[in-house]
Amino acid sequence: MRMTNPAEGTPDAEFATYFREHHGHLSAYVRRRCDEALVADVVSEAFLIAWRRRAESSSGGRAWLFKTARLVMNNSMRAERRQQRLGHRLASLQGSSVRASEDSTTEAEVVLRTLRRMSEPDREVLMLVHWEDLGGAELGEALGCSAATAAVRLHRARKRFRRALTVSSASTDVPHSLKEIFR
């Protein structure tokens, strides 16, 4: 049996470092996308795959983990559409988080509502960039495409998001700050 505190420089130690570096990021990534009850399972399976494919995962960093976790979610929870799960997740998060002020809460709710209504590919690229802080090659790795393709997808997704948010901001229940931006 291997040791809990593996020697420095061993594969176990390298993986432990990788695990410690990315565990929090991966947990947050998964928590934004699926029910709380499933977060631990998805994170566990993604890291298990990372362990088994250490050469690939270590060079891919957190973006590789994000991609793998997304596939785990798809693969292990096929009965419920991913988009619907995410819709639920965003809906459940809406109103329970981001409560800096009354106005900002409402603003966040409108943004989450808008995101929920976008296509899954558009939503994923926007979330990866603005919530997971990915960009460039990392974004490409997470999306499974080249950095250039990812940039194009991001550009188009932002355009569609602004268009969708403009529509949302036309309704009466959005804060004045949004109306000012998208009038």
Partner 1 sequence: MSTQLDTQRLLRSSNPVPNAVSAEPLDASATALLQRIVNHTDPEPGPSRGRRWLIGTVPRLAAVGALALVTLVIGVSLVDSDDGGAYAATPTPLSTEHTPTRAGAVDELLALAARAEGTSYDAGPGGSIRVVYQSWSLFTRIDGVEVSSEVVPQRITRLVGPDGQGTITTEHTAEGETTESTTSIDDGPQTRLAADVDGLTAQLADRNPSGAAGRVNAIVESLLETPAGPGSRGAVLRYLAQTPGIRSVGEMEDRLGREGVGFTVSSDASGLPTSYTLIFDPRSGNLLGYEEMLTSDPGKLQVPIPSVIQYVVWEQSTYTS
Supply 84's token pair. Answer: 């619907």
Q: Cβ 94 to partner 1, closest distance in Å?
A: 8
Q: Cβ 9 to partner 1, closest distance in Å?
A: 15
Helix then strand then coil, % of the chain, to nearest 5: 75, 0, 25
Q: Cβ 29 to partner 1, closest distance in Å?
A: 9
CB closer to partner 1 out of 97 and 137: 97
Asked if 86 and 123 touch (Cβ cutoff 8 Å), the reply is: yes
Other C-beta atoms closer than 10 Å to the C-beta of 34 total: 24
Q: Cβ 52 to partner 1, closest distance in Å?
A: 4
Supply 3's token pair. Answer: 């040791």
Supply 180's token pair. Answer: 């000012």
CB closer to partner 1 out of 115 and 139: 115
Supply 46's token pair. Answer: 């993604």
CB closer to partner 1 out of 37 and 79: 79
Please report, as a single letter, which amino acid is at residue 77: M
CB closer to partner 1 out of 137 and 149: 149
